Amino acid sequence: MNDSLKKDTTNGVVWSAIERFSAQGVQFLIGLILARLLTPVEFGIIGMLAIFISVSNVFVDSGFSSALIQNQQRTETDFSTAFYFNLGIGLVCYAILFLISPIVADFFNTPILNPILRVLAFIVFINSLIVVQIAKLTIKIDFKTQAKSSFIATVISGIVGVSCAYMGLSVWALVVQQLSFAAINAILLWWFSKWIPSRVFSVDSFKKMFSYGGNILLSGIVHTLYMNVSTIAIGKYYTARALGYYTRGRQFPDLICTNLTSIIQRVTFPILSKIQDDTERLANIYRKYIKITSLGIFFLMVLLASLAKPMIIFLITDKWFDAIIFVQIMCYALMFDHLNKINLNLLYVKGKTNLVLRLEIIKKILGFIILLISIPIGVLAICIANVINCQIAIIVNTYYSGKYINLGYWKQFKDYFPYLLIAHIACFPAWLLSTLIDLPILVLVVGPIISTVIYVICLEMIKDRIYIEDIKPIIKKTFSYVSTKLIH
């Protein structure tokens, strides 16, 4: 990786991480407060609607943001064309969600879903207004602006949501929080980006972007439907309370895994699109990305699974005790997700969107079969099905990585398995403490320290190059900076 590429990647990762974890960190704290004020049933009600909002957002983007980022000859006409198309799709999606809300309420046998969906769906229209703004900032590797916008929006919407919960607005507090975040974030992105669409819509430009983005749209729909079908199954065949435990249990590992993976994916895509024709260089860089992400994600996810019990009890009280097992299982479902995203990201960089679509269809057909088998067994079986399907996805995705850049399953397995093994060795003491000691705060303080020390010692003992050459210097530099600031 040359100096320029490394600098762009580092800066992008830093600001993307700040954008993600500053906003998500505040959001996480707000979520803890709301979990104490509200009940699993109220979170379950919102969880029932997640699939409708998520699928609509996929339609709103339609793969056009990726098309703009990947195309190195993009023009202002392309941006304006994408904006007007996204806006139109946003209006159509909102109208459809508004009309089908009574049907959704009847399906889940939960009447309150009717008015909630009609209000919550407005988020989809708001998001259609900022697709191009986000794409332009991403092309510039400008995650600092996105960080400011999402952080401010998260703080303000969080205060609004918690205030509504204190006033006894129940599930509507969650609706108001999400809606206010979308609105404030959109306003700030328009203000910061300083971009205004031209009065032009090009059919040729639309066709060109849709030829690339159309496959991303279809694969995104398939993926989103699958990722949310578990919530439909639980909400339909079990209870809103069970769905509340499931969504809360998934949220904790999501905060770590999905955000870290998203940071790497969104930063590397515009950077590596510039060298998409240099296959050998791509392979070397992707191999390094796999090692770096695995080093951090495996440890954090195994540690989270080990400390799930004291964490849940301490943070959101024992009324959420039944969510503990969901946290642990979903950690093992999501800890491998970065491998799938990195491999798909490679295919996007190479322009193989049609192949991505075929892969998504194959994986999801297998996934639906396994999920259908698990539904009658119980909610835990549905979670375990997610773990199995993630492993199937890795096998399918890496097969084509092996074909295009000679980076197949076994090469990747040899790269990431040592980190997985060491993570379990290092986190065993934390798990042991959580089972033997009934003082959550003590376990949450001592457990991570012991496990982190063991993990670092193991990396030093095996002389891991990624840790020594890439991670350790950053840690030293950070400690040196903090120490200097404290002294002065």
pLDDT attached to residue 340: 86
Q: How far is CA 289 from the centre of its chain?
A: 17
Which residues are within 8 A (CB) of 129 and not within 5 positions of it... i.e. 6 or more apart?
A: 86, 87, 90, 186, 190
pLDDT attached to residue 138: 80
pLDDT attached to residue 92: 95
Q: Please answer whether residues 121 and 98 qualify as being in contact, where contact means their C-beta atoms are separated by less than 8 angstroms.
A: yes
Residue segments in the chain with a per-residue pLDDT below the cut of 70: 1-24, 263-279, 477-488
pLDDT attached to residue 311: 93
pLDDT attached to residue 312: 93
Cβ neighbours of 199 (radius 10 Å): 7
pLDDT attached to residue 119: 96
pLDDT attached to residue 66: 78
pLDDT attached to residue 425: 96
Distance CA 179, CA 174 (A): 9
pLDDT attached to residue 161: 93
pLDDT attached to residue 482: 55
Terminus-to-terminus CA distance in the chain, angstroms? Answer: 36
